[in-house]
Amino acid sequence: MGLSAKIVMVASGKGGTGKSTLSVMLGARLAAAGGKVLLIELDSGLRSVDIIAGVYGKTVYDIADVLSGRCEGAKAVVASPVYPGLSVISAPYEWSGTVQPAALKKLLDKLSPVFDWVLVDTAAGLGAPFKAALAVSETVLLVLTPDGTRAKAMVTVWSGPKELTLTAEKTQVTRGGTVTLAAADETGAAVDASTLAWSSSDEAIATVDETGTVTAVAAGEVVITAETAYEIAGSVTITIG
């Protein structure tokens, strides 16, 4: 395969769907097909990947140690004795911290060139592990049960933007003037401004409303930010003259 791993996120809207078992079995089959596979578990407290993959009792460091900067990612990687070609970074039994997208991306930037596939087994639901994994993954596998409400929530998140870019027809505005910002996702498709949370870094200089329209108040420079409901953000700098 290429010089960088394909990153696949495995998620579910609720616990008990077999998500972690599917993650290990998928990793095992990819490894059996000749791929070098890393499985990262983000489900702190309810970890089970280590047991299913046969690395229970063999781990010294876990994903919390890596994301907190206590060790390098390579030190937390443990090869499965059950499934050749599959390696695991386990979740901790307890962790008071939060999975941050930037920290997870930094880890994957370092380890992706070593593997053909990286599978990210998220915690159930739409919390921080889900959002962090979504921000770095190319593909999402949703493990669902016959529960329409959960399925709808997961598909809604999956189909949302993974990146957000803001553009303005002009970035220099005179006092009292206005400019309307446009938002686009990673494909360049327009994102409805009314679905975003807008904010100004200094409302004494400029304000922004729910449509993305910026009103210049005083001379200076201001950063306008828009954010989706799932913490995907973009920003643009406007200069007021």
Mean predicted confidence (pLDDT) in 63-78 = 89
* pLDDT value of residue 4: 81
* pLDDT value of residue 148: 56
* pLDDT value of residue 45: 66
Number of H helices, E strands in the chain: 7, 15
Q: 141-180, pLDDT tens digit by residue?
A: 888 776 555 555 555 555 567 789 999 999 999 999 999 9
* pLDDT value of residue 216: 96
Pick the closest to residue 193 from 220, 158, 154, 167 (CA basis): 167
In terms of average pLDDT, the best of 7-16, 20-29, 131-140 is: 20-29
pLDDT at 133 over 80: yes
Strand order in the sheet with 117-121: 78-79, 86-89, 37-41, 117-121, 6-11, 139-142
CA–CA distance, 146 with 131 (Å, rounded to integer): 23
**Partners of 236 in beta bridges:** 224
Q: 170-208, pLDDT tens digit by residue?
A: 999 999 999 999 999 988 999 989 888 899 999 999 999
Pick the closest to residue 11 from 158, 229, 116 (CA basis): 158
Task: Give DSSP secondary structure letters for 62-86.
Answer: -HHHHHTTSS-HHHH-EE-SSSTTE
pLDDT at 227 over 50: yes
Pick the closest to residue 222 from 181, 165, 187 (CA basis): 181
Q: 25-49, pLDDT tens digit by residue?
A: 999 999 999 999 999 998 776 778 8
